[in-house]
Amino acid sequence: MLDLILFLPQGMKTSLKERLDLKRLPTHVAVIMDGNGRWAKREGMPRLFGHRAGVQSVRQITEACAELGIRHLTLYAFSTENWNRPVLEVTGLMDLLVETLRRELQALHNNGVRLKAIGDLGALPEKTRRALEEAVARTNDNTGLQLILAINYSARWEILHAANALAAEAAAGRLVTPVDERTFAGQLSTAGIPDPELLIRTSGEYRISNFLLWQLAYTELYFTSLFWPEFGKEQLYEALLDYQQRERRFGKTSEQLA
């Protein structure tokens, strides 16, 4: 394989990144970062070692998205269902989040990244919630990549939350019914953010796991068998190249798009 690459004419030695069409990148990429535990197990290490390795992938992918000028990156970091894991793993994950925010905040800020958190943040441990709120406030005026962390997130919770907020508005006589898509989406935690054009899930699982159910209605799905700690910049470029080969028809025929 290496020989083959070495003998290719100079012009064909293009990297994956160079093959990207920068004018056709998604504005919003969402990721279900899965497989930290299995990766750690394969390495003969405890699960938390996998989560720590996963943070390196987060850094790589955030950096790559910022470099490419992608506007929004949503990372599924902790689902509401993840509370059902062993207590030590849950507290380890919450501590890792605080530690990572502390360590990375300055670099994120310097690179113009704007942080946002979505999910039921009120139910998080006090220090996790505070670290998140501080990071969000600190980066609030930045205009680069918006990094959206889904933490204690559940799409059904989010949809119910929106429905209840609208019901309260209706009861107070402040709502025009029937509610349209725009009004409904305006009550979701992603209000004002375009729907993701691309969803990536690692670790060979083919499911959505209660992530962005409303927002993923027409998203292109990309699955890879690599575990999250194995997913770096090159793997992101591969996913983006795959995305750029898709034809997004939105119900129309191929001929109508031409």
Which residues of the shown chain bind Mg ion in the complex (CB under 5 A)? 34
Is 77 among the residues that bind ligand IPE (CB under 6 A)? Answer: yes
**What is the DSSP track for the chain?**
-HHHHHHS-GGG---TGGGS-GGG--SEEEEE---HHHHHHHTT--HHHHHHHHHHHHHHHHHHHHHHT--EEEEEEEEGGGGGS-HHHHHHHHHHHHHHHHHHHHHHHHTT-EEEEES-GGGS-HHHHHHHHHHHHHTTT--S-EEEEEEEE-HHHHHHHHHHHHHHHHHTT---SS--HHHHHTTSTTTTSPPPSEEEE-TT----TTS-TTTTTT-EEEE-SS-GGG--HHHHHHHHHHHHT----TTS-HHHH-
Say how many residues touch ligand IPE, by CB under 6 A: 19
Among 28, 30, 78, 108, binds ligand IPE (CB under 6 A): 78
Is 132 among the residues that bind ligand IPE (CB under 6 A)? Answer: no
- State the minimum distance, in angstroms, from the CB of residue 53 to Mg ion: 14
| 119 close to 44: Cβ distance less than 8 angstroms | no
- State the minimum distance, in angstroms, from the CB of residue 157 to Mg ion: 19
- State the minimum distance, in angstroms, from the CB of residue 152 to ligand IPE: 10
Is 246 among the residues that bind ligand IPE (CB under 6 A)? Answer: no
Is 158 among the residues that bind ligand IPE (CB under 6 A)? Answer: no
CB-nearer residue toward ligand IPE: 222 or 228: 228
* Partner interacting with residue 53 (select from Mg ion, ligand IPE, none; CB below 5-8 Å by kind): none
CB-nearer residue toward ligand IPE: 60 or 183: 60
- State the minimum distance, in angstroms, from the CB of residue 158 to ligand IPE: 14
Q: Which stretch binds ligand IPE (CB under 6 A): 72-80, 126-134, 187-195, 247-255?
A: 72-80
Burial class (CB in 10 A: 0-12, 13-18, 19+), 215: buried
Among 35, 119, 196, 229, binds ligand IPE (CB under 6 A): 35
Q: Which residues are known to be catalytic?
A: 34, 82
* Partner interacting with residue 183 (select from Mg ion, ligand IPE, none; CB below 5-8 Å by kind): none
Q: What are the residues binding ligand IPE (CB under 6 A)?
A: 32-38, 76-79, 81-82, 93, 203, 205, 207, 209, 228
